[in-house]
Amino acid sequence: MIRRQRLASGALALLATLAAGLAFPGAAAAGEPTGESAPKVDLVLDVSGSMRTRDIDGGTRMAAAKQAFNEVLDATPEEVELGIRTLGADYPGDDRKTGCKDTAQLYPVGPLDRTEAKSAVATLSPTGWTPIGPALLKAADDLDAGDGSKRIVLISDGEDTCAPLDPCEVAREIAARGIGLTIDTLGLVPNTKLRKQLSCIAEATGGTYTSVEHTDELTDKVNQLVDRAADPVVTPVATEGAAQCAKAPTLKSGLYTDREEFSQQRWYRVDVNPGQELRASVSVASDRAVNPDYGLLLRAVTTHGREIVRGEAAGNGRTDVISTGLRYPKAESDDDEAPAESVCLQVTNAFSAPSGVKTTPGMPLELTVDVVDGPSQASDVAAFGLGRGWWLLGVLVLVGFLAGLLWGWVSRWRVAVWRTN
């Protein structure tokens, strides 16, 4: 009897071990080095005297920045190496030469100690000048090593005060180094001159400019940029859309950049085989002043002009980038020789320019195209929202069923033994 009980217990343990092994097939490899350089981000914060201004949600600009930084530090992905650099944080005097050297690494770029980084941020107090150019040069040096993605996120409420060192020229110089560094800029004041300068800095390195007026907007945007640093590095390919589908360039899976003038249409083509799914998304950035209330439309159309599916979005001037996307799964075919379908992608914007604003060149457009195996493929099934986790649920159900049968057999055997005794 004892031997049979041990046999039953061993069988249950074996089933449990089997379930654990199936559920976590890659557990043994977790944490092993991949050989790739970690993505790096340097947050560059303006701590000049103007950050004392109380115009963000009833508090100072500095208070909003500190709150946003604390929340961003909590949400930073483990694989991202993050640093914090300040400008205008230490010198309160009137000597221009000294003030324009006032930039320091508050927290070095590297593995993040959240408590230490938060403690460093808590010590900041609005102080001096706004040496954006010198700070960008130093931040580029902070990130120079390694071949992973590198990103500077500059947050400022004013223009550089250290001319003739033009921060836009500094950004172009950094881009020319060829170290794959992107600068994103965030302006805390809806000021035309500030917008122009920060937009120029961002454009020089393929980054983005965003104007933020509320603490939650600042937090969300910085979080988004830090998360983006952890994404695989993809080099965008310049392309030129056509005025009609028949003359459109044929694109494969990848990231593409183009420019689209106000209220213009741009056409692209993508070949989709039976059983594949086309996933496309597009973003248009308003890199200059635009009228409020605008829209963006992305349509998938057959070569004969019939609309297949569309994605659209609208904005009201509170953001500088508007995006939308679509998905088109092409049904399987019984004919193994069935040709690919040529799908036309039409991008149309509904932006308009205020009087005096140049409409050329067009606004920056970023198009992502991904052609993957369709949902009929087992590797891409999203049953009941479980995605690839559906197979795990099936394994657990099977193991539970077998364990129940075994337990029932053991119980019946024990009752039979008890009755015979």
Amino acid identity, residue 108? P
Quick check: 5 pLDDT over 70?
no
* pLDDT confidence band for 206 (50 / 70 / 90): confident
Confidence of residue 404 (pLDDT cuts 50, 70, 90): confident
What band does 33 get if pLDDT is binned at 50, 70 and 90? very low
pLDDT category at 315 given cuts 50, 70, 90 is confident
Q: Which of 18-22, 168-172, 202-206 has the highest mean pLDDT?
A: 168-172
Q: Which of 5-9, 67-71, 97-101, 215-219 has the lowest mean pLDDT?
A: 5-9
Asked whether 321 and 284 are in contact (CB, 8 A), the reply is yes
The span from the CA of 82 to the CA of 60, in Å, is 25
For residue 165, give both structure tokens. Answer: 């060192």
Instruction: Choose between 8 and 196: higher pLDDT.
Output: 196
- Alpha-carbon distance of 150 to 126, in angstroms, equals 27
Could you give the CA distance from residue 283 to residue 232 in angstroms, rounded to a whole number?
19
301 neighbors 280 (Cβ within 8 angstroms): no
Choose the weakest-confidence range: 184-188, 317-321, 376-380.
376-380
Q: Look at residue 129 in the predicted model and tell me its pLDDT.
A: 93
Closest CA to 365 of 349, 380, 384, 343: 349
- Residue 234, pLDDT score: 65
DSSP 50: G
Token couple for 355: 């009087």
User: What's the CA gap between 39 and 150, in Å, rounded?
Assistant: 6
From residue 295, alpha-carbon distances to 68, 282, 290, 358 in Å are: 29, 12, 12, 19
pLDDT of residue 41: 95
Q: For 16-29, what is the mean pLDDT?
A: 38
Regarding predicted confidence, which is higher, 17 or 47?
Answer: 47
pTM: 0.54
Which range (12-21, 225-234, 326-335) has the least confidence?
12-21
pLDDT for residue 390: 52
Most confidently modeled range among 86-95, 225-234, 324-333: 86-95
Checking if the pLDDT of 40 tops 60, the result is yes
Query: What's the confidence (pLDDT) of residue 319?
Result: 58
Q: Is the pLDDT of residue 64 over 90?
A: yes
pLDDT(144) > 90 = no
Q: What is the pLDDT of residue 188?
A: 93
> For 86-141, how does the pLDDT look when each residue is reduced to its tens digit (9 = 90+)?
999 999 998 989 999 999 999 999 999 999 999 999 999 999 999 999 999 999 99
- For the cut 60, the answer to whether the pLDDT of residue 20 exceeds it is no
Question: Which pLDDT score, from 0 to 100, does residue 62 have?
Answer: 95
Assign residue 137 a region (left: φ > 0; alpha: ψ between -120 and 50; beta: otherwise): alpha
What does pLDDT average to over the chain? Answer: 82
